[in-house]
């Protein structure tokens, strides 16, 4: 049997919450993202979708949450970025 590359990613669908930033006005995006992350419980994941790579946001997330939130790219293509933000417990 093959072992998964990331054993911590055995999440049931009810533990993954989609967050599509493309539909949120730019001036509200970071506040909405922080609010969504603050509402997650340990073991839950927010699957973030955006039309560009949010490097300044990732810096802010690392400064705010440190190691408490894992960051893993799921898709990284021009026009479509998908990142899982995993709340560690």
Q: Give the tens place of pLDDT for each residue, 16-58.
A: 999 999 999 999 999 999 999 999 999 999 999 999 999 999 9
Confidence grade of residue 89 (pLDDT, cut at 50, 70, 90): confident
Q: Is the sign of the CA dihedral 29, 22, 25, 43 positive or negative?
A: negative
Confidence grade of residue 5 (pLDDT, cut at 50, 70, 90): very low
Residue extents of the structural domains in the chain: 13-87
CATH of 13-87, one of 3.40.50.720, 3.40.50.150, 3.40.50.170, 3.40.50.620: 3.40.50.150
pLDDT above 60 (res 63): yes
Confidence grade of residue 3 (pLDDT, cut at 50, 70, 90): very low
Residue 10: predicted pLDDT: 55
Using left for φ > 0, alpha for ψ between -120 and 50, and beta otherwise, residue 37 falls in alpha
- What is the C-alpha separation between 41 and 87, in angstroms, rounded? 7
């Amino acid at each position: 049997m093959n072992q998964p590359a990331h054993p911590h990613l055995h999440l049931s669908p009810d533990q993954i919450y989609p967050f599509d930033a493309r539909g949120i006005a730019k001036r509200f995006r970071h506040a909405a993202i922080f609010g969504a992350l603050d509402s997650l419980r340990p073991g839950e994941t927010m699957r973030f979708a955006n039309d560009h790579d949010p490097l300044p946001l990732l810096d802010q997330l690392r400064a705010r949450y440190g190691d408490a939130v894992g960051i893993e790219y799921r898709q990284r293509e021009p026009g479509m970025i998908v990142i899982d933000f995993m709340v560690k417990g």
